[in-house]
């Protein structure tokens, strides 16, 4: 018995001595590092065409200027300096971080003279220990076009009642994103777009009519190849029978690739897209140009964040 | 009877030796960078300095991503492009209080101390010495120290375009109140 106790005594001494001399830091119960929220899944609030999972930080204002020029590689495009003489769309936007998770924004586009108000709420955040494997955000956007009536109703039967409500369109989506390691991020975006007013049209090849609502599935990704540069890609697949194999009025799904350059405070995007329009409300239903026909455009985006 | 005496000796001994270790009850580790265009300051309250009274060892570990900045974007840049906290999650300082035997931890008093040791951050380990004040007050040890770190020593690169925003040398401040570590 005594032996055992002496033994325990010795163990007690040595273990406390070890704890004291060699492993002080092991005594600290610091919050587990593995359990932190993943940040910078994407670098800005948009990928190229698509909204990204990112929101603006609380109290910050993200001012964005986006440009799309004209087709680069169609016949005669040399006369417009490969599209640079024309601007298909220009968009200015202001995104404000109400909280770290909620962003409200306003924007104005040249295309359809579109005025937008939108909100994004990132309600789930991926954690580094994978307890939460993805981040999820909800994005919703309301658009209003102040276009001249004659333009909105051109080619429309006179008997159609003209309403202010016809000027509104909506876009909503869920953004599910994951950052894989430090160099690759991806997201998918089930989306729904609704226009209050569409002109009657029919696809002669499958007898499908144009619809007010269009469901689409977007995918996007970012590959960082240096600390400050990344390749960005996004694509929307539109589930619209009217747009499928429409030989008389062909439609294409918007595909965008870009180079992202981050300088700290500023983020620059240099993009190529087949769609001319910048806002979802415009490019989801109206993309009629095809990458394979050389109908892709150069575009750029500048994002500048102001902190208050 | 013998048993009880011995058992209590074991318990008492381990208690006594544990009492030789003080750990921060609350601590604040902050850094400040003063540059032409902007001042950056960030604070962490998760790092808990530890002092071993007997040996004079002073150690502290802090998670890089626990630093809170005035602007969230600054924090993101700090973690992602400067200290790369996904690769190097902690900054660790291990040092010894110089002339520790001259400090009487049993009596109230204030000492100007020099702590010499090394700091590991961003995958680099460098010798660091810091001066500070050590105050013994009742059952507590108060630590207050300020020292400078050169970013280049830790291979934290600042692009030339950012030199107006980020100082090459930052001031680090540690303030902590330590209490004897209780047996767990």
Instruction: List, in order of start, the domains of chain B with CATH numbers.
Output: 21-180 (2.40.128.110)
pLDDT over 50 at A204, yes or no: yes
The pLDDT, as a whole number, for residue A37 is 86
Q: Closest Cα to residue A72, out of A236, A276, A308, A265?
A: A276
Residue A133 shares a structural domain with residue A195 = yes
B175: helix, strand or coil: strand
pLDDT over 60 at A209, yes or no: yes
Cβ distance A67 to A299 under 8 Å? yes
Cβ distance A64 to A154 under 8 Å? no
Out of B3, B54, B89, the one facing A20 most closely (by C-beta) is B54
Structure tokens at B75: 């924090």
Q: Closest Cα to residue A303, out of A58, A67, A41?
A: A67
* Rounded CA separation A26/B87 (Å): 20
The pLDDT, as a whole number, for residue A102 is 97
Residue A24 shares a structural domain with residue A146 = no
Q: How many CB atoms lie under 10 A from the CB of residue B7?
A: 13
The pLDDT, as a whole number, for residue A29 is 60
The pLDDT, as a whole number, for residue B12 is 54
3-class DSSP string for A247-260: CCCCCCCCEEEEEE
Residue A67 shares a structural domain with residue A95 = yes
Calculate ∠ Cα A235-A241-A247, nearest 5°: 90
Task: Measure in Å the smallest separation between the Cα of B110 and chain A Cα atoms.
Answer: 24
Helices (H) and strands (E) in chain A, counts: 3, 14
Residue A107 shares a structural domain with residue A215 = yes
Write the ipTM.
0.72
Residue A18 shares a structural domain with residue A76 = no
| Minimum mean pLDDT range among A100-109, A148-157, B147-156, B158-167 | B158-167
Residue A45 shares a structural domain with residue A19 = no
Q: How many CB atoms lie under 10 A from the CB of residue A207?
A: 9
pLDDT over 70 at B4, yes or no: no
Answer left, alpha or beta for residue A200, where phi above 0 means left and psi between -120 and 50 means alpha. beta
* Rounded CA separation A120/A173 (Å): 10
Calculate ∠ Cα A273-A278-A279, nearest 5°: 135
The pLDDT, as a whole number, for residue B153 is 93
CB contacts of B10 in chain A (<8 Å) are 5, 8-9, 12
pLDDT over 90 at A124, yes or no: yes
Q: Closest Cα to residue B67, out of B51, B89, B87?
A: B89
Residues A101-124, mean pLDDT to the nearest whole number: 97
Cβ distance A144 to A115 under 8 Å? yes
Q: Is the dihedral of CA B135, B141, B146, B150 positive or negative?
A: positive
Q: Do B14 and A16 touch (CB under 8 A)?
A: yes
Range(s) of the domain holding residue A282: 37-307
Q: Do A5 and B181 touch (CB under 8 A)?
A: no
The pLDDT, as a whole number, for residue A19 is 45
The pLDDT, as a whole number, for residue A126 is 95
A38-88 tens-digit pLDDT: 889 999 999 999 999 999 999 999 999 999 999 999 888 899 999 999 999
* Rounded CA separation A283/B2 (Å): 88
Helices (H), chain A: 2-21, 149-152, 280-286
Residue A134 shares a structural domain with residue A246 = yes
A167: helix, strand or coil: helix
Out of A1, A25, A33, the one facing B50 most closely (by C-beta) is A25
- Best mutation target, A6, A7, A23, A24, to test chain B (most B CBs within 10 A): A24
CATH of the domain at A250: 2.40.160.40
B7-34 tens-digit pLDDT: 665 555 554 555 588 999 889 999 999 9
pLDDT over 70 at B83, yes or no: yes
pLDDT over 50 at A17, yes or no: no
Residue A20 shares a structural domain with residue A132 = no
How many CB contacts within 8 angstroms connect chain A with chain B? 103
Residues B117-146, mean pLDDT to the nearest whole number: 94
Helices (H), chain B: 2-18, 72-77
pLDDT over 70 at A194, yes or no: yes
Q: Which residue has the tokens 């998760």?
A: B46
Residue A189 shares a structural domain with residue A287 = yes
Residue B154 is given by DSSP the state G
The pLDDT, as a whole number, for residue A18 is 46
Q: Closest Cα to residue A52, out of A42, A40, A63?
A: A42
What's the domain count of chain A?
Answer: 2
Touching B: A residues 107-146, CB under 8 Å: 128
A203: helix, strand or coil: strand
Q: Is the dihedral of CA A85, A300, A304, A62 positive or negative?
A: positive
Q: Do B54 and A31 touch (CB under 8 A)?
A: no
Q: Which residue has the higher pLDDT, A237 or B20?
A: A237
pLDDT over 70 at A130, yes or no: yes
B53-67 tens-digit pLDDT: 989 999 999 999 899
CB contacts of A103 in chain B (<8 Å) are none
pLDDT over 70 at A190, yes or no: yes
pLDDT over 80 at A4, yes or no: no
Query: What rounded mean pLDDT belongs to chain A?
Result: 90
Structure tokens at B135: 């105050």
Give the β-pairing of B169-180 and A229-239: unpaired
* Rounded CA separation B140/B129 (Å): 23
Residues A132-142, mean pLDDT to the nearest whole number: 97
The pLDDT, as a whole number, for residue B158 is 86
Structure tokens at A80: 């417009």
Q: Which residue has the higher pLDDT, A244 or A9?
A: A244
Task: Measure in Å the smallest separation between the Cα of A225 and chain B Cα atoms.
Answer: 13
Residues A157-167, mean pLDDT to the nearest whole number: 91
B41-57 tens-digit pLDDT: 999 998 889 999 989 99
Out of A24, A40, A59, the one facing B80 most closely (by C-beta) is A40
Residue A4 shares a structural domain with residue A66 = no
Spatial CB neighbours of B158, under 8 Å, sequence gap ≥ 6: B82, B151, B166, B168
Q: How many CB atoms lie under 10 A from the CB of residue B100?
A: 20
pLDDT over 90 at B141, yes or no: yes
Full-model pTM? 0.81
Q: Do A39 and B76 touch (CB under 8 A)?
A: yes
Residue A191 shares a structural domain with residue A296 = yes
The pLDDT, as a whole number, for residue B184 is 46
Residue A21 shares a structural domain with residue A93 = no
pLDDT over 80 at A264, yes or no: no
Share of chain B above pLDDT 70, in %: 89
Q: Which residue has the tokens 């026909």?
A: A293
The pLDDT, as a whole number, for residue A22 is 52
Terminal alpha carbon distance of chain B? 27
Q: Kindly state whether A58 is in contact with chain B, defined as any CB-CB distance less than 8 angstroms.
A: yes
């Amino acid at each position: 018995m005594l032996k055992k106790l002496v033994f325990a005594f010795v163990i007690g001494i040595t273990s406390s001595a070890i704890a004291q001399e060699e492993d002080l830091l092991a005594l600290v119960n610091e919050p587990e590092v593995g359990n932190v929220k993943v940040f910078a899944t994407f670098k800005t609030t948009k990928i190229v065409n698509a909204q990204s999972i990112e929101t603006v930080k609380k109290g910050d204002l993200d001012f964005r200027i986006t440009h799309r020029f004209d087709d680069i590689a169609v016949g005669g495009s040399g006369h417009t300096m490969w599209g640079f003489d024309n601007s298909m769309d220009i968009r200015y936007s202001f995104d404000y971080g109400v909280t770290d998770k909620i962003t409200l924004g306003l924007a104005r586009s040249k295309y359809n003279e579109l005025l937008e108000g939108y909100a994004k709420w990132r309600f789930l955040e991926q954690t580094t220990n994978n307890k939460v494997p993805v981040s999820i955000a909800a994005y919703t956007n309301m658009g209003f076009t102040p276009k001249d009536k004659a333009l909105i109703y051109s080619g429309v039967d006179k008997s159609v009642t003209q309403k202010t409500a016809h000027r509104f369109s909506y876009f909503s989506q869920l953004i599910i994103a994951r950052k894989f390691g430090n160099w690759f991020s991806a997201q998918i975006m089930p989306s729904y777009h609704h226009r209050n007013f569409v002109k009657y049209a029919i696809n002669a090849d499958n007898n499908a009519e144009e619809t007010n609502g269009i469901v689409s599935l977007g995918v996007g990704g970012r590959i960082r190849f240096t600390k400050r540069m990344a390749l960005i890609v996004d694509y929307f697949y539109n589930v619209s029978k009217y747009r499928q194999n429409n030989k008389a009025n062909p439609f294409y799904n918007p595909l965008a690739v870009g180079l992202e350059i981050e300088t700290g405070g500023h983020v620059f995007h240099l993009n190529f897209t087949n769609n001319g329009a910048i806002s979802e409300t415009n490019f989801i239903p109206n993309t009629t140009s095809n990458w394979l026909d050389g109908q892709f455009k150069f575009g750029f985006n500048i994002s500048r964040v102001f902190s208050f | 009877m013998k048993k009880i005496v011995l058992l209590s000796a074991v318990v008492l001994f381990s208690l006594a030796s544990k009492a030789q270790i003080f750990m921060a009850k609350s601590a604040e580790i902050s850094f400040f960078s003063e540059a032409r265009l902007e001042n950056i300051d960030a604070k962490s309250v998760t790092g808990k300095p530890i002092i071993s009274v007997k040996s004079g060892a002073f150690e502290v570990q802090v998670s890089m991503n626990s630093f809170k900045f005035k602007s969230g974007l600054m924090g993101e840049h700090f973690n992602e492009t400067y200290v790369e906290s996904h690769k190097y999650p902690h900054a660790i300082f291990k040092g010894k209080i110089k002339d520790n035997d001259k400090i009487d931890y049993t009596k109230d008093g204030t000492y100007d101390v020099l702590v010499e040791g090394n700091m590991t951050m961003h995958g680099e380990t460098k010798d660091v010495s810091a001066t500070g004040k050590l105050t013994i007050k009742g059952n507590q040890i108060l630590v207050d120290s300020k020292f400078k770190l050169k970013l280049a020593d830790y291979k934290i690169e600042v692009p030339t375009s950012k030199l107006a925003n980020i100082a090459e040398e930052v001031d680090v401040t540690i303030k902590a109140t330590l209490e004897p570590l209780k047996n767990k």
